[in-house]
Amino acid sequence: MAPLIPTRLAGRLTGAARGGVAGLAGAGTGAAAQFLTVVLVTRGVEQEAAGLFFSATALCLTAATVLRLDAGNGLVHFIARSRSLDHHHASGYVRAALVPVAALSLAAGAAVVLTVSDPALRVLAVALPAVTCSGVVVSATRGFGSMRPTVLLDGVLQPVSQSLLVGAVVLAGHGSVPLLAAAWALPYLPVLLLASIWLRRRLPGTPLQPGAAHELWRHTWPRSLAAGIQAVFQRLDVVIVALLAGPAEAAVYTAATRFKIVGQLAGQGLAQAMQPRLVRALAEGDLPRAGELYRSATRWLVLLTWPVWLGYAAFAPWLLGAVFGDGYTGGAPVAFVLAATMMLATACGMADVVLTSAGHTGSSLANLVAAVATVVALDLLLIPSLGSLGAALGWAGGTVVKNLLPLWHIHRRYGLRPFGTPQPGRPAGGMTSLPSPPPTALNARWTP
């Protein structure tokens, strides 16, 4: 009797699982350290100062993500392609990605230093180039199929160092927001340096190939917009709460939604490990492999995260007070909304990762625009009267839109779905061929 999954496919899935476990290990360590940082700040400084710190770092991370132009994921795509096709142009792609990102982040940081008087924002502006470029360089290392730099640098060194430095400032009795911001930003510099050394050792010393920049940015520009919108989607709510309801309410909202990191770490680790494999599977027209990767990742997401969200919803009123302090127990309704929304989101699986891996970056961008528009509209409507709960409802509405739209797209185009099994003798999802490739298809094996 033939095995349900071919031997070659099983081997590929085993490799993906190993990468996923490594990604989960790094993401879990990072999530724990980030969570500890929030606990240290909420426990160690006044609620208003905590809200200002959370708002300032949210702005910094949003700016850095926008300025990265999604160059990191673009490099994963092209480095993985270069290795698959036995090309030696990877170093050209890296330079084509880093030059504009570094220039934009330096210009943005200088503009903030010269025009903004808030000392915490000026500290973070000085660190902005390192925060921005470190993410691009660490992402590029995954194009070589290695999760080690991501796990050790992005998952361990950066968040653990942030927690230790912020904790040292708090324990020293300094409630200064600029000093806390400096402690938070400093670890990005060694991460950037170490990731650059790792990448440099594996890149051939070839000159920049003609057309490399054009090819890279032709593929990446829709995702550049999408990544910027995604950054706004992820962190805009904290800033809006601070503006409309005050820093103290922003601190409560940040504390209540911080458990989101715990639930999201599974998706982060799996997505980082699966993305290069999905790119290759979809580029080769191998829908059975792509479908199995997608369904396997979804099953693991539900298995790992639903117990977390059910437990958080059940114990939130006690947990928030016990962890963050009595002033944060009012975030329990936010926790209920967060748990229900994240359970729905994980049931959709990595739908947007599949959509972008197939080259449909424009559709992903349109989906994100719709999600952010939903968040902004609901936030402006609900936050003035409901405070942090209004922000949670706005975020929930945007999250539903963000997950259901790509799920509909990949099911309509490829027949892929997060659960179930493909019909015998047919590609995953029931389609017999892929549509015409986008201009950035990895090779000519796509069939119309």
Counting residues of the chain whose pLDDT is more than 90, the rounded percentage is 36
In whole angstroms, what is the distance from residue 300 CA to residue 41 CA?
A: 33
What confidence score (pLDDT) does residue 195 get? 95
Could you report how far apart the first and last alpha carbons of the chain are, in Å? 33
pLDDT at 279 over 60: yes
Which of these ranges, 84-98, 193-207, 300-314, has the smallest mean pLDDT?
Answer: 84-98
Q: Give residue 201's pLDDT.
A: 86
DSSP structural state of residue 441: -
What is the model's pTM? Answer: 0.74
List b or e across 185-219, with b for residues whose CB sees 16 or more CB atoms inside 10 angstroms: bbbbeebbebbbebbeeebeeeeebeebbebbbeb
Q: Considering only CA atoms, give the Rg of the chain.
A: 22
CB 383 within 8 A of CB 390: yes
Q: Return the pLDDT at 272.
A: 63
Q: Which residue has the higher pLDDT, 425 or 155?
A: 155
Tell me the average pLDDT across 121-130: 97
Query: With bands split at pLDDT 50, 70 and 90, how would you rate the model's confidence at 155?
Result: confident
pLDDT of residue 301: 82
Helices marked H in 69-211: 71-84, 90-115, 119-141, 148-149, 158-171, 177-185, 188-202
* Percent of the chain residues past pLDDT 70, beyond the cut: 81
pLDDT band at 336 (very low <50, low <70, confident <90, very high): very high
109, two tokens: 């940081």
Output the pLDDT for position 261.
Answer: 72
The residue to which tokens 């700040």 are assigned: 41
- Retrieve residue 224's tokens: 């550049």
pLDDT of 403-430, one tens digit each? 999 999 888 888 888 887 654 444 444 4
Q: Is the CB of residue 106 less than 8 Å from the CB of residue 131?
A: no
For 442, phi then psi, to 5°, come to -75, -30
Tokens of 89: 């142009």
Q: What is the mean pLDDT of residues 101-129?
A: 96
Residue type, 270: L
Average pLDDT of the chain?
A: 81
Res. 210 pLDDT band, cuts 50 70 90? low
Q: Would you tell me the crossing angle of helices 287-324 and 259-283 to the nearest 10 degrees?
A: 170
Q: Is the dihedral of CA 179, 185, 190, 193 positive or negative?
A: negative
CA 139 to CA 149: how far, in whole Å?
9
What's the rounded Cα separation, in Å, for the pair 347 and 305? 10
Is the CB of residue 203 less than 8 Å from the CB of residue 94?
yes
In the prediction, which pLDDT does 259 show? Answer: 77
The residue-averaged pLDDT of 195-224 equals 78
Q: What is the arithmetic mean of pLDDT over 52-67?
A: 93
Question: CB–CB of 402/395 below 8 Å?
Answer: no
Among 87, 218, 199, which residue's Cα sits nearest to residue 134? Answer: 199
Decide: residue 419, CB within 10 A, 0-12 exposed, 13-18 middle, 19+ buried. exposed
Record the tokens describing residue 259, joined without a space.
């458990």
Confidence of residue 268 (pLDDT cuts 50, 70, 90): low
Quick check: 19 and 147 in contact, CB under 8 A?
A: yes
pLDDT greater than 70 at residue 303: yes
Cα torsion angle, 84, 89, 95, 97, sign: negative
What pLDDT, on a 0 to 100 scale, did the predictor assign at position 2? 41
Going by the DSSP 8-state scheme, the letter that residue 287 receives in this structure is H
pLDDT digits (tens, 9 = 90+) for 26-46: 667 777 888 899 999 999 899
Task: Give the residue from 99, 97, 98, 89 showing the smallest Cα distance to 205.
Answer: 89
